Structure 1
Amino acid sequence: MSKLRVYQLAKEFDISSKELINRLVELGITVTNHMSTLEEETIGILKELYGKVEEEPDEKKVTEKKNKKNKDSSEITEHKEQNGDKNMIKIPETIAVQEFSEKIEKNVSQIITKLMGLGVFATANQEIDFDVAATIALEFGIEIEKEEVKEENEFGFDQTPDKLEDLKERPPVITVMGHVDHGKTSLLDAIRDTHVTEREAGGITQHIGASEVELNGKRIVFLDTPGHAAFTSMRARGASITDIAILVVAADDGVMPQTIEAISHAKAANIPIIVALNKIDRPNANPDKVKQELSENGVLIEEWGGDVICAPVSALKGEGIDNLLEMILLVAEILELKANPNKLAFGTVIEAKLDKSRGPVATILIQNGTLKVGDSIAAGAAYGRIRAMINSLGKNIKIAGPATAVEILGLSDVPEAGDSFNATKEDKVARQVVEKRRTKMREENLNATAKVSLEDLFKHIQDGNVKELNIIVKADVQGSVEAVKQSFLKLNNDEVKVKVLHGGVGTITESDIMLASASNAIIIGFNVRPSSTVTNLAKAENVDLRTYRIIYEAIADVEAAMKGMLDPEYKEVVLGKVEIRATFKVPGAGIIGGAYVKEGKVTRNSKVRLVRDGIVVFEGEISSLKRFKDDAKEVATGYECGIGLENYNDIKEGDIVEAYIIEEIKRG
């Protein structure tokens, strides 16, 4: 005689699990619940007690039981056929008693009675987990299986491809990029002043991070968080929401470092560029010079034989605005931007915040489908039912279609910029999806692996994970940038192609880190030093940031990494940073800097480099370190000191002295 569980034996005796448990208690046999396993001896005793089951069966009772069984069987079969699955009924991880009763087509009172028999007390609206539901279903002779909640694709839950007849033309989404002071904001203001579809008293007030304009009955959506930093930080999170990039270049200034960065970011995102040649009204404007500089940076305009449209404008005087908008619509027409408004909405969170009076507030861009007040949505790790929608003019709206930016209220938490959002048919679906996302995020954080670095590059190559090594180069002068870029491009081999995404003059910036993070690139700095903020951001984003003083060392490191020979023996450890606040001439000692230790510490035997405006101007050793008039071995954060550099006197106020040591790496 094999062992049986309480509920199995109760089923055999045609009694409830609760009744059987009570009988066992009377016999002095303790069991915890319906899942408890019974010994053979106990089963034998119970068989004797319920011996009537073994006896000659009563024909009438057998007929009744058979009829009941056939009825239950036909009900189950009918239910399964209605659900399109003749083998199994599927239910989620948790399910309300009422919904469960409908699934297996039994009365709620029957379910609750069975639950009480199992020692579970629940009302019709309360939820039970899958294991309990499976036990109840088994008592009714029904088999069930767990239903998995799946996110069908990156943005939505509807796997059904859009039918060609359902697709409608949608407005283009534009991001404005360019160098500081070249007129990005002025251009947006000029566009709004003349083409915003609806006006408020006292002029336009932008309430959310996007604005809409209209030309010849067609809408254009401008993101009000322009600039490549914001653009790339969203792309780093997987959000590709921009259709066209407007590159604003001042006709009297030309291509500047941030212009080159913007070009690199737009090309990395693989989106079309339209050049807005601003400030053409200036007397010293030189459009041909700008076009020449653009061609040198890989942007060849149409009149020079390229495919990039160039529109001359004056944001100040409002000239050329209509022409620019027409060019945008022309490019949009070529791109054939379409969406299906007749489906549940999905899109991207542009920005989000916690408002003291309104709770979590998110600005979202609907990329496909239509969103309505009252819809349930899952946005990143937040979910909820939309209580209100506000458009770019601050007006409450009930419905928003594709390529519309709205501010929404009703979320459970604050999502992050770049998160995808999906409208769902039911609240519980949104909640289940978000729970699944949170679990996945926790797992990813626990199993987080660094992005490509020189140390593990060869392993990635062997595993087949890297076919292209992306590099960003920053140096002190343009000549060095070009030399480093050309040297890296010569390292291409059959397994890996080296691609220099961006090369620029000046120190490494946060924008460089975000571009590297989005493109899985390595940053090589030559004769430049990043600030503490940038270094910390690189660590947070797992970006491999390396600085060199000798060009051949950088090339040798990358080449060795590609061949799997990189085996660094020494590591530089930055101890601290000291700011020069005054300088003093001391007879016999030269120029001494009156300094303040901003972070970390500086020691007498540490090596130092003098950084001025992000550029390394000296590297050597400390000749003297004093606290007041006494020699000091070490000065910590928050203290002042006098510092002298070995054989170097060109110390100036505002310089940063970076103290570091070289540590030998222990080989495992």
Structure 2
Amino acid sequence: MYRSACLRLLSLKFIKESSHRCEPYKLINDAVKNARTLSLSALNYKKRKSPEERAVENQGRRVIRYAPKAGTEVVGIWRNMTVQEIADVLKKDVDHVFKALEFADKDSEVVYTRNTVIHNPQIVRDVVKISGCRFKIIAKPEDRIEEEENKDAMPAPPAPPEALRPRPPVVCVMGHVDHGKTTLLDALRDTSVVDTEFGGITQHIGAFEVQLSSGDKVTFLDTPGHAAFSAMRSRGAQATDIVVLVVAADDGVMEQTVQSIRMARAANVPILVAINKVDKPGVNIERTMKSLAQHGVVCEALGGDVQAIAVSALKKLHLDTLVEALTLQAQLMDLRADPGDYVEGVVIESQVDPRTGKQATVLVQRGTLRRGCVIVAGTGWGESKVRMLKTAEGGSVEEAGPSAPVSVLGWRELPAAGDLVLEVPSEKRANEVMRWRHSQRMKEKQAEDLEVITAKEAEHKAVYKQQLQQKRAIGRFRVKPKGPRDKMIQHDDHPTLSVIVKGDVDGSVEAILDILETYDEHQTVRLDLVHFGVGQVTHNDLEIAQAFNAEEELIGEAKVLQQFLVSEGRKKVPVAGCRCTKGTLQRQALYKVIRNDQVVYQGKLASMKHLKDEVASIKNDTECGLRFDDINFAVEPGDVIVCYKLVDVKHTTQWDPGF
């Protein structure tokens, strides 16, 4: 356009003024100047027009083709949108969409309203382009919400009567601490579990299956009687068919006895009373039954409907009578389940074994659990493709039917005690369920955090309002801080006890955390729960403890280079050839050996040598030979040896944990 204008003007000028004998170069300069002015005016005219104005000029076209620039806002669109939905995604009013539809759908006779559904996707795209946005195709938001709501795994509906088969009863043994619950179970299955319990007190739920002399099978759950383990007892009552309430004839009804009765009533489970320790002299069985009647447990001897059997677990007296009562109660209940359905169960206990890894004791309530099954539990990533099934005795089994307790290995993340276990058809489905549950848990956490944030904002606004009123009252723009500047920085010198809780099983950790929650924050020393978990103490736990000034003081570290066998008399003893890598090593200090973030040895040294000399300490970057007290312990190259000492700082508190 610019070039053609130049040529036309040049031709006219030359013809008009040729008679005046003008110089050719002057004519060319004038023509170029005029052509530039004309061209710029045309371009400025084009620039002043908006996309809507240019669209009006092109009303003869069927579809407006307008391509927004890169970097503009991208909006999501879907099929069959309404006019109001288009306005919402564009963040504009409905009138804007109506005007855009006049150009995008010019030939149509449709009268658009807010709720008009646009079935032609091209019209929606053109409206978005006219509005200066780009688009992407997405699913309708309501459809996505509905899809998310259907991603969780749910228990199956009740099985038809023809699919039900008889199953063994699940019996939970409950009662006060030291009334003989575990001893009674030992007598029933002829074992000595009580010898392995710390202090003779059950600290977690033991689940095992017993085959009685009659040939019938019974699953027993042994719950702890200590006051700290009330949550465990509650789980045991909820997962059971019959509760055997053990009451010592010499003690009678105690605090945990009453609590066990209350839990059994809440779970709507029948109670059978075992009055234990009747072999002791001077016991009064009738007084014990009268004490039970005061709490709603009326025995048959007093005219009630609760069976009460006097036994001696230690002497194994009248155990056959107790077994007969259990069998009769189970027959009256007619316990049945569907062994061919998808697996349903409950996590009785969970733990981290240093050899086999994460494992959970599962009580199967429906279906048959087999190796290779895919199961999910809890709200975390508690999914498992079952690698191995083990009994309470440690034996491996291929499957477990209804009422059978088994230890399941193969968990991706350890489930919590009490979690519902459900079988799903595939690992893909398990991942889908876990993602959905994880997202739901995050939403709940966000809602909880929002409540805290809202409360903090309200508190901040109240303080700000008070300060603003103070400023207005004194007529100053800014209130100067009172006192020196260093007082503006607050230091919390309140004594604090930082605690890390690690337990062998999830139930024990839960019980300790429940106790710590009762700590009164108004005590002289504050309690700060830093970390908790299930399993052995790891190197990461030690680092966390050091960060919070634990009483355990690090002296030095060494790295194992090689193990040697040295002759001492007629024996060959192992010696760790090491190099000190941090601090110093002291002969009389305590030592830990860490392998793969696990503490594999704790103890003292029997010998510390540099070259051939016995020494009291080793400096940094010096090689040495270390021999531990335990001659059966063998180190491996790459092990980390930690030298430390314990700093004992004693404090007293008036806190009463309730037991």
Range class of TM-score, shorter chain? 0.3 to 0.5
Give TM-score scaled by structure 2 length.
Answer: 0.46
Which one has the largest radius of gyration? 2
TM-score (norm 1): 0.45
